Amino acid sequence: MTIKGKAYIAGIYEHPTRHAPDKSTAQLHAEVAKGAIEDAGLTKADIDGYFCAGDAPGGVMNMVDYLGLKVRHLDSTDTGGCSYLIHLGHAAEAIAAGKCSIALITLAGKPRTGPMPPRAAGAEADFETAYGATTHNAYGMCAMRHMHDYGTTSEQLAWIKVAASHHAQYNPHAMLKDVVTVEDVLNSPMISDPLHRMDCCVVTDGGGALIVTTPEIAKSLKKPLVRLIGHGESTKGPRGGKDLDLTHSAGLWSGPRAFEEAGVTPKDIKYASIYDSFTITVLMQIEDLGFCKKGEGGKFVADGNLISGVGKLPFNTDGGGLCSNHPVNRGGMTKIIEAVRQLRGEAHPKVQVKNCDLAIAHGTGGLLGVRHAASTCILERA
Amino acid sequence: MMAEAKKYPAPLTNPETALFWEAAKQGKFMIKRCTDCGEPHYFPRSICPFCFSDKTVWEEASGDATIYTFSLMRKSATGPYAIAYVTLKEGPSLQTNIVDCDMDKLRIGQKVKVVFKPTDGAPLPFFTPV
């Protein structure tokens, strides 16, 4: 049993806003849903499966009611920023099993202009909460250890931001459109050692949505065909404190599962959407996914290897979370959307990868240095 | 960079972890060990996270550890602080803050020891350079 080729992404929509003081979170979900349904050339009545995560006000039942959906399949898996990559895999499973035929996945929220949904506390709360793990320092601890073990430098990490900024200059919706240099990154204020402000992603209001459907329905619609051919998901945490290693992520397990199902290797990938909550997130992911050996990520990203048209692995050609958009502090949705744009040939001409027929969308969610999940999707132009 | 004295939240505690917090009031730092597979773990669980045996017992740890990694949070509502993972002499690694020190001089591999800080309930374990 496999999901290879059983589900197509027929609709995508990224909200153009980055600042939405006059909208509600539920409204943003509705707007991105409408955008993706229209992109696919469908109507709301066609939707028979719905997927959302912790950013959806009230959860899946309340959202289905608010949106006025009538569905026969629901999934509210929440793994932070990679939830939507997992939803894509789960939607493909549901479609392959006949549980639904047209699935809607939404993400939206407004961290700049409203309260964030609370983070749920687990059994560890009494033993960890007081120590103040945040996104910044939880990723900072990974970067610190990676530098210690492999000699990775702040200059190398800075190249990841530089590459993202080269792409963002062509995205009219990007929050940060200026091209930056390694020096700019190193001269930005230290937030949580060794991560500087420019090692961190943007905070944006907004959202995005996907329509996932059967091969037959996708072929009856007008958009270029993009299908999911491999998916993997996994989690990683301190697990009782044994053999702690913060230099690798759960991508070490989600990646190979996705590549195996797809029947391709990292060398075959033409475009990569890699979740970039921080520069270190990208560095660890490209190692864990096998684009280079563990510890050689720094060397790989230096000198612009992630820049489209220049390097070996064009990544995040919309400017990514580092420069363009990071709605609700959850980057998985926009990773899928830009990969689909690349496979459709709809990326900005300055960053469009030539003959882009195979792409990866990968992300982590939660706190990389504490407990996190990872999900990998391999997408193909059909 | 030195941090100001900070107010920490009191642990809520629960039946599974109550002994840890009672021992903390006596200045003892406890871990759990599985008597079936022999592995120690932290934070304490009633069922071993490695072999899933329910034969776990409390054990007082030395409180000696080394810094596995750390990051200095330069700004926060309560001032700068050093979050870290330390690896106990007994084996398990755990999340903590390194306190009562010059945070700019911290390094991976540095030896630290447990120190308890008061709350409105049971005291919380932190680590400080030896």
Q: Which residues lie across from B114 on neighbouring strands?
A: B127
Instruction: Answer yes or no: do A299 and A214 share one domain.
Output: no
Task: Collect all residues of chain B within an 8 Å Cβ-Cβ radius of residue A370.
Answer: 95
Query: Count of CB contacts below 8 A, A vs B?
Result: 119
- Contact assignment for B73 to A136 by CB distance below 8 Å: yes
How would residue B3 be classed by pLDDT, with cut points 50, 70 and 90?
Answer: low
> Do residues A71 and A172 share a domain?
no
Token digits of residue A72:
């026969």
* Mean pLDDT for the stretch of residues A208-228: 98
The class of domain B18-129 in CATH terms is: mainly beta
**A117 has a pLDDT exceeding 90:** no
- Span of A317-321, B4-8, B62-66, B108-112 with lowest mean pLDDT: B4-8
Closest CA to A33 of A89, A105, A90: A105
Q: Is the pLDDT of residue A257 over 90?
A: yes
pLDDT at A118: 75
Q: Does A145 touch chain B (CB under 8 A)?
A: yes
- Rounded Cα distance between B117 and A242, Å, is 25
**CATH assignment at residue A35:** 3.40.47.10
Q: Which helix (H) or strand (E) holds B61?
A: none
Same domain, yes or no: A193 and A212: no
Residue-number span of the structural domain to which A105 is assigned = 7-113+205-227
CA distance B13 to B76: 26
A172-198 mean pLDDT: 98
> Which residue from B39, B42, B71 is facing A141, i.e. has the nearest CB?
B71
Percent of chain A clearing pLDDT 70 (strictly above): 100
A353, A274: one domain: yes
pLDDT-derived band at A98, boundaries 50, 70, 90: very high
Structural domains counted in chain A? 2
Query: What is the pLDDT confidence band of residue A191, given thresholds at 50, 70 and 90?
Result: very high
Distances (CA, A) of A92 to A8, A222, A260, A292: 8, 20, 16, 29
Hey, where are the domains in chain B? 18-129
Rounded mean pLDDT, B96-102:
97
Q: Is the pLDDT of residue A356 over 90?
A: yes
Residue A1 within any structural domain of the chain: no
Domain annotation covers residue A119: no
Interface test with B, best of A134, A244, A247, A370 (most B CBs within 10 A): A244
**Are residues A210 and A305 located together in one domain of the fold?**
no
**Encoding tokens for residue B79?**
């001032």
pLDDT at site A101: 98
* Mean local confidence (pLDDT), A247-270: 98
Note the pLDDT of residue B4. 54
Long-range contacts from A118-124, C-beta under 8 angstroms, 24+ separation: A120/A54, A122/A371, A123/B43, A123/B45, A124/B43
Q: Answer whether residue B2 shows pLDDT above 60.
A: no
Instruction: State the pLDDT at residue A372.
Output: 98
pLDDT (average), residues B25-45: 98
Given the DSSP bridges, would you call strands A49-51 and A73-75 parallel, antiparallel or unpaired?
parallel
**Are A25 and A98 contained in the same domain?**
yes
Any domain includes A194: yes
A148 and A102 share one domain: no
Distance CA B20, CA B125 (A): 11
Are A144 and B71 in contact (CB < 8 Å)?
Answer: yes
**A115 — pLDDT class (breaks 50, 70, 90):** confident
Kindly state the tokens that stand for B9.
Answer: 């939240």
- pLDDT value of residue A336: 98
Both A158 and A44 in a single domain? no
Provide the mean pLDDT of chain B.
95
CB pair distance less than 8 Å for B42 and A241: yes
Report helix, strand or coil for A325. Answer: coil
CB contact under 8 A, B70 and A141: yes
In this predicted structure, what is the pLDDT of residue B1? 55
Tokens of A279: 């520069």
Record the tokens describing residue A164, joined without a space. Answer: 């993202």
Please compute the mean of the pLDDT values over residues A291-320 and round it to a whole number: 97
- CA-nearest of A278, A309, A275, A307 to A377 is A275
Chain B environment of A134 (Cβ under 8 Å): 73, 76
Q: Same domain for A166 and A218? A: no
Instruction: Tell me, yes or no, whether A213 and A192 share the same domain.
Output: no
Q: Are residues A175 and A158 in the same domain?
A: yes
Share of chain A above pLDDT 90, in %: 97
Mean pLDDT of the A131-152 span:
97
pLDDT greater than 60 at residue A65: yes
Decide if A122 is inside a domain.
no
Could you tell me if A130 lies within 8 Å of chain B, comparing CB atoms? Answer: yes
Number of other residues whose CB lies within 10 A of the CB of residue B52? 10
pLDDT (mean) for A61-77:
98
A52 shares its domain with A174: no
Q: Is residue A124 part of a domain?
A: no
Instruction: Of A164, A160, A171, give the one whose Cα is nearest residue A349.
Output: A171
ipTM over 0.85: yes
For the cut 60, the answer to whether the pLDDT of residue A45 exceeds it is: yes
Bridge-based pairing state of the strands A372-381 and B30-34: unpaired
Among residues A321, A317, A340, the alpha carbon closest in space to that of A209 is found at: A340
